[in-house]
């Protein structure tokens, strides 16, 4: 099994060491390099031998966004995850514009980080349901996010398309159920089935798929 080789840039030593230990516990993931900031990562890491870079948003000398921009220009195949305490859309948009493939809060759980690593290797981008679906829809529509998906064009039923459209408008499962005169269990069943078909991990991934494939209008 091919292992995903990860580099970390994080200025807080305790957090960096703990993060490395946790990443090494993930399936098929190994940390091959650690640095205190982006400049040390660029200067000392063999970046051609890494698959994923995890960057702290705020670091001295060269922060995560600045580092991401340089990495994207020089190493376009690298996948980049930004970790941050900031969740405002302006921060997310800046990270995306500078080349990040995923943006996670430091408050997110470990399963989320593991999903993100595997998702960006396979599907290029990963954003969790804490990120606004409307925001992601607009970013894809403007061409600021260019997701790729492993599955070919998938047939959705007219009802599934209705569900997907309402998901993209950020309606809750109950609101969708009420509007379509179905039970919440039925809506959740269709959402889960669409995720299975598209190999996406959450509703944001579904919305990205819908825009990329022309199922949803921007």
Q: Are residues 42 and 93 in the same domain?
A: yes
- Which structural domain, as residue segments, surrounds residue 141? 133-218
Looking up residue 18, the CATH number of its domain turns out to be: 3.40.50.2300
Q: Are residues 168 and 156 in the same domain?
A: yes
pTM of the model: 0.85
The per-residue pLDDT string of the chain (218 residues; one tens digit each, 9 = 90 and over) reads 679 999 999 999 999 999 999 999 999 999 999 999 999 999 999 999 999 999 999 999 999 999 999 999 999 999 999 999 888 888 999 999 999 999 998 888 888 999 999 989 877 889 888 888 888 888 888 888 888 776 667 889 999 999 999 999 999 999 999 999 999 999 999 999 999 998 888 999 999 899 888 888 87
Of the three residues 131, 154, 181, the one that is the final residue of a domain is 131
- Quote the pLDDT of residue 56: 96
- Quote the pLDDT of residue 150: 67
- Quote the pLDDT of residue 151: 65
Q: Are residues 92 and 142 in the same domain?
A: no
Q: Are residues 23 and 106 in the same domain?
A: yes
Q: Are residues 121 and 143 in the same domain?
A: no
Q: Are residues 113 and 97 in the same domain?
A: yes
Count of domains for the chain: 2
Looking up residue 203, the CATH number of its domain turns out to be: 1.10.10.10
| DSSP string computed for the chain | -PPEEEEEE-S-HHHHHHHHHHHHTSTTEEEEEEESSHHHHHHHS-GGG-SEEEEESS-SSS-HHHHHHHHHHH-TT-EEEEEES---HHHHHHHHHTT-SEEEETTS-HHHHHHHHHHHHHHS-B--TTS-HHHHHHHHHTTS-----SS------HHHHHHHHHHHTT--HHHHHHHHT--HHHHHHHHHHHHHHHT-SSHHHHHHHHHHTTSS--
């Amino acid at each position: 099994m091919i292992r995903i080789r990860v580099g970390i840039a994080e200025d807080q030593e305790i957090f960096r060491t703990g993060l490395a230990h946790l990443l090494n516990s993930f399936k098929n993931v190994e940390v091959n390099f650690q640095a205190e900031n982006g400049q040390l990562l660029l200067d000392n890491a063999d970046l051609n031998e890494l698959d994923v870079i995890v960057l702290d948003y705020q670091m001295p000398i060269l922060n995560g966004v600045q580092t991401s921009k340089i990495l994207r220009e020089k190493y376009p195949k690298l996948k980049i995850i930004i970790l941050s305490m900031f969740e405002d859309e302006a921060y997310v948009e800046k990270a995306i514009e500078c080349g990040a493939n995923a943006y996670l809060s430091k408050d997110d759980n470990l399963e989320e980080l593991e999903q993100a690593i595997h998702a960006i290797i396979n599907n290029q981008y990963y954003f969790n349901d804490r990120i606004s679906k409307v925001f992601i829809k607009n970013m894809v529509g403007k061409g600021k996010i260019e997701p790729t998906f492993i599955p070919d064009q998938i047939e959705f039923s007219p009802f599934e398309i209705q569900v997907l459209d309402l998901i993209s408008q950020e309606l809750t499962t109950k609101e969708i159920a009420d509007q379509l005169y179905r039970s919440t269990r039925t809506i959740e069943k269709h959402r889960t089935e669409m995720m299975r078909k598209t190999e996406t991990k959450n509703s944001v991934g579904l919305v990205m798929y819908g825009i990329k494939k022309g199922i949803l209008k921007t």
